């Protein structure tokens, strides 16, 4: 079907999609206001809105509440093959990492936190909540739990400028040897949605990560909530030797 035979909304959609593809509208650019698009294409408000909704469904643009409609950044592709922190991950991808500290509190460990950190239920731990940004775009809402003695040292630092991994390893002599990851696809609750500037119910990745120091000592438990529309996770798996089909199996 030629452009002239397409419905008007589809014609507008394809022109804007082409502008995005050729760099006329680069990632992070705000689309022109609705009235400007109406004048440019000489179509109705309904036509413009239908075209924008289709671009949203294609993942080419997104609505940022209170700001407007923006061209989306290409999805970040992050390897899950070694233990790294957010700043290290973004540096490898050529992105600028930053953080916004929401709060830091001493709280009693709930069942999950106590189990992950190997502490009795109700033991006081330090909880740190931050928004992590890539090129100024909120990408992750992080909850970090540390044993109280260690956490009270960490929170004395500027947590918007200094990564917790670096503080643990370089300032507080706590080398991180390995970690256990648990990844789950969930819907954003209101707290996470507000932090990331997305709608409640939007798809997100939840990573639960427990980091261990020497002697298998758990020192850091995190709940990392990543925007599902901005990131994908990649890993490489080796097949176990001798794990081929047994006799009679296919």
Could you list the pLDDT tens digit for every one of the 250 residues in the chain?
A: 455 568 999 999 999 999 988 889 998 899 999 999 999 999 999 999 999 999 988 878 988 878 899 998 777 888 888 899 999 989 888 889 999 999 999 999 999 999 999 999 999 999 999 999 998 889 999 999 999 999 999 999 999 999 999 999 999 999 999 999 999 999 999 999 999 988 899 999 999 999 999 999 999 999 999 999 888 888 888 888 765 555 555 5
How many angstroms separate the CA atoms of 142 and 93, rounded?
A: 20
* 163 located within any domain: yes
Cβ count within 10 A of residue 127? 19
Q: How many domains does the chain have?
A: 2
How many angstroms separate the CA atoms of 139 and 113, rounded?
A: 23
How many angstroms separate the CA atoms of 163 and 228, rounded?
A: 23
Q: Which of 90, 196, 185 is nearest to 135 (CA)?
A: 90
Q: Quick check: 27 and 72 in contact, CB under 8 A?
A: yes
Q: 26, 48, 71: which is the final residue of a domain?
A: 71
- For the entire predicted model, the pTM comes to 0.72
Q: Quick check: 80 and 233 in contact, CB under 8 A?
A: yes
Domain that holds residue 162: 76-234
Q: Are residues 55 and 92 in the same domain?
A: no
Q: Are residues 85 and 11 in the same domain?
A: no
How many angstroms separate the CA atoms of 161 and 210, rounded?
A: 22
* 245 located within any domain: no
Torsion of CA 161, 104, 153, 122, to 10 degrees: -150
Q: Are residues 119 and 144 in the same domain?
A: yes
* 247 located within any domain: no
């Amino acid at each position: 079907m030629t452009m002239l035979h397409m419905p008007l909304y589809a014609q507008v959609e394809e022109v804007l999609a082409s502008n995005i593809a050729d760099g006329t509208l680069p990632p992070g650019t705000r689309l022109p206001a609705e009235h400007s698009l109406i004048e440019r294409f000489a179509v109705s408000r309904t036509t413009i809105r239908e075209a924008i909704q289709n671009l949203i469904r294609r993942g080419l643009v997104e609505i940022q509440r209170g700001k407007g409609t923006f061209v989306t950044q290409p999805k970040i592709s992050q390897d899950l093959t070694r233990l790294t922190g957010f700043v290290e991950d973004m540096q490898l991808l050529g992105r600028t990492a930053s953080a916004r500290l929401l709060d830091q509190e001493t709280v009693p460990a709930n069942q999950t936190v106590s189990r992950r950190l190997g502490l009795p239920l109700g033991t006081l731990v330090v909880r740190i909540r931050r928004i992590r940004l890539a090129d100024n775009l909120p990408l992750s809402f992080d909850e970090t739990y540390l044993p109280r003695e260690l956490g009270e040292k960490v929170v004395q630092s500027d947590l918007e400028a200094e990564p917790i991994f670096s503080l643990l390893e370089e300032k507080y002599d706590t080398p991180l040897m390995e970690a256990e990851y648990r990844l789950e696809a969930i819907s954003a609750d209101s707290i996470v949605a507000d932090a990331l500037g997305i709608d409640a119910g939007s798809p997100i990745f939840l990573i639960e990560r427990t980091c261990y120091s020497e002697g298998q000592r758990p020192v850091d438990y995190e709940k990392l909530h990543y925007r599902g529309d901005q990131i994908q996770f990649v890993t490489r798996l080796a097949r176990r030797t001798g794990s081929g089909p047994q006799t009679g199996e296919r």
